Amino acid sequence: MVDAIYIHIPFCVKKCGYCDFLSFQSDEKQRDRYVDSLVNEIRLYPKIKYDTIYFGGGTPSLLEPFQIKKILDELDFDKDTEVTLEVNPKTVTREKLQELKNIGINRLSIGIQSFNEKFLKKLGRIHTNSEGIATYELAKEIGFENISIDLMFSLPDQTIDELKEDLDKVFLLNPEHFSIYSLIWEEGTPFYEKLISGEYEETDNDIEADMYKMIIERSKENNYHHYEISNFCKEGKESRHNTKYWRNKEYIGVGLGASGYLENIRYKNISEFSKYFNEIENKRFPRVEEEIVDNEMLEEYRHILGLRLLEEGISLSSDEKYFNIYQKLLKNGYIKEVQIENQERYLLTEKGLFLANEVFEEFI
């Protein structure tokens, strides 16, 4: 039974130079209308008791707490439900964080990206280093006990020492969880234009691999589990919601451009406001794409997503096609066989981790 929901909030104060997530500048009227639509979209789905609720964006913290509450009021959850909200430092105050806690948000994912003023400027972030740290400290003071920090590395001209300084700050703050993604040069973004014009250069592959190696080593030294390719956590503090994605579990996705996976169908919502509002007003699912997941696709997803979970991996498939792929990957040292709770499972090896994309391609 599905027990997870992703709620997309497609608003940002200002677009960051590298980002191609679905998000726009907005006014109060548009945000109000959007929240009403979300409420109506949620009503199209059966009432479910949720184990995880995730407000992602864009910048969910741009909404007022009463608007988040309006959405939460539509959902059945209790104090054991993991309720995550992505936060941009510039959009919250002590009062707002307190209100968010009062209405049931119990996990924050703070978009820090870097602690270095030079990179924050380059990235086009709206907050300074001290505002990022202050938001984290405030959240702690107020009593949030499950905080994640988002960072990026392999930034234009970033040195290994600069990354090391960012990591030192993370370990000083000591959050329960952090994710760190290497910069993806997304076509159509200002960053991509600068790459094409030669103003920015991609990080050399060997340097990027050294950076990733350092992230892994330093995290281990600081008692973080490296539980997913780009995600690290203190014991038991994995993102319960995101882990469901990697376990290929079904989830409901609502909001502009949101994806979902329900009753064997992977779907994607409409990405244009006017069409999205229109479908909701007509009490129709605002979907633009639906894909029926047959057994073959299910296995494909299960392998590609499951291998991302570095401590859990995947259970073996009885399908001959997979047997041959496993043999090849085992022979090349990309995966290893382990026993977890009396079950044989495959995990990525360190070599496989650094060449993960090649491994995943074998399953497609």
**Where does this chain bind ligand SAM (CB under 6 A)?**
18-19, 21, 57-59, 86, 88, 111, 113, 150, 152, 181, 183-184, 186
Residue 258 sits at the vertex; the CA angle it makes with 252 and 262, to the nearest 5 degrees, is 30
Question: What is the edge-to-edge ordering of all strands in the sheet holding 259-262?
Answer: 259-262, 265-269, 287-292
Nearest-angstrom CA–CA distance, 304 and 356: 9
* Dihedral angle sign, alpha carbons of residues 278, 279, 280, 286: negative
Nearest distance in Å: CB 176, ligand SAM: 16
Query: Pairing relation of β-strands 4-9 and 252-254?
Result: parallel
- Element (H or E) spanning 289, and its range? strand 287-292
* Closest-approach residue to ligand SAM (CB): 111
Q: Does residue 96 belong to the site contacting ligand SF4 (CB under 6 A)? A: no
Q: Does residue 109 belong to the site contacting ligand SF4 (CB under 6 A)? A: no
- Interaction partner, residue 35 (ligand SAM, ligand SF4, none; CB < 5-8 Å by kind): none
Q: 268 phi and psi, to 5 degrees?
A: -135, 135
* Comparison of 179 and 349: residue with beta carbon closer to ligand SF4: 179
Q: Does residue 88 belong to the site contacting ligand SF4 (CB under 6 A)? A: yes
**Residue span 277-316 as binding mask against ligand SF4, x where in contact by CB under 6 A, dash where not:** ----------------------------------------
- Interaction partner, residue 183 (ligand SF4, ligand SAM, none; CB < 5-8 Å by kind): ligand SAM
Nearest distance in Å: CB 111, ligand SF4: 5
Q: Does residue 91 belong to the site contacting ligand SF4 (CB under 6 A)? A: no
Nearest-angstrom CA–CA distance, 146 and 160: 29
Among 47, 114, 95, 97, which Cα is nearest to 252's?
A: 47
Q: How far is CA 121 from the centre of its chain?
A: 23
Q: Which amino acid is at 147?
A: I
**Residue-wise burial string across 68-93, b where 16 or more C-beta atoms lie within 10 A, e elsewhere:** bbbbbebbebeeebbbbbbbbbbbbe
- Number of other residues whose CB lies within 10 A of the CB of residue 174: 14
Q: Does residue 59 belong to the site contacting ligand SF4 (CB under 6 A)? A: yes
* Comparison of 151 and 359: residue with beta carbon closer to ligand SF4: 151
Query: Which pair of tokens denotes residue 27?
Result: 């006014």
Q: Does residue 184 belong to the site contacting ligand SF4 (CB under 6 A)? A: no
Nearest distance in Å: CB 51, ligand SAM: 22
Q: Does residue 15 belong to the site contacting ligand SF4 (CB under 6 A)? A: yes
Binder to ligand SF4 among 2, 34, 58, 345 (CB under 6 A)?
58
* Comparison of 189 and 219: residue with beta carbon closer to ligand SF4: 189
Identify whether the C-beta of residue 325 lies closer than 8 Å to the C-beta of residue 358. no
* Chain position carrying tokens 């509002």: 277
* Chain position carrying tokens 């997941």: 293
* Comparison of 184 and 355: residue with beta carbon closer to ligand SF4: 184
* Comparison of 74 and 131: residue with beta carbon closer to ligand SAM: 131
Q: Which of residues 111-130 bind ligand SF4 (CB under 6 A)?
A: 111
Nearest-angstrom CA–CA distance, 101 and 87: 13
Note if the bond before 352 is cis, omega within 30 degrees: no
Nearest distance in Å: CB 331, ligand SAM: 33
* Comparison of 75 and 92: residue with beta carbon closer to ligand SAM: 92
* Comparison of 114 and 349: residue with beta carbon closer to ligand SF4: 114
Binder to ligand SF4 among 6, 7, 23, 180 (CB under 6 A)?
23
Nearest distance in Å: CB 255, ligand SF4: 13
Which chain residues interact with ligand SF4 by CB under 6 A? 12, 15-16, 19, 21, 23, 57-59, 88, 111
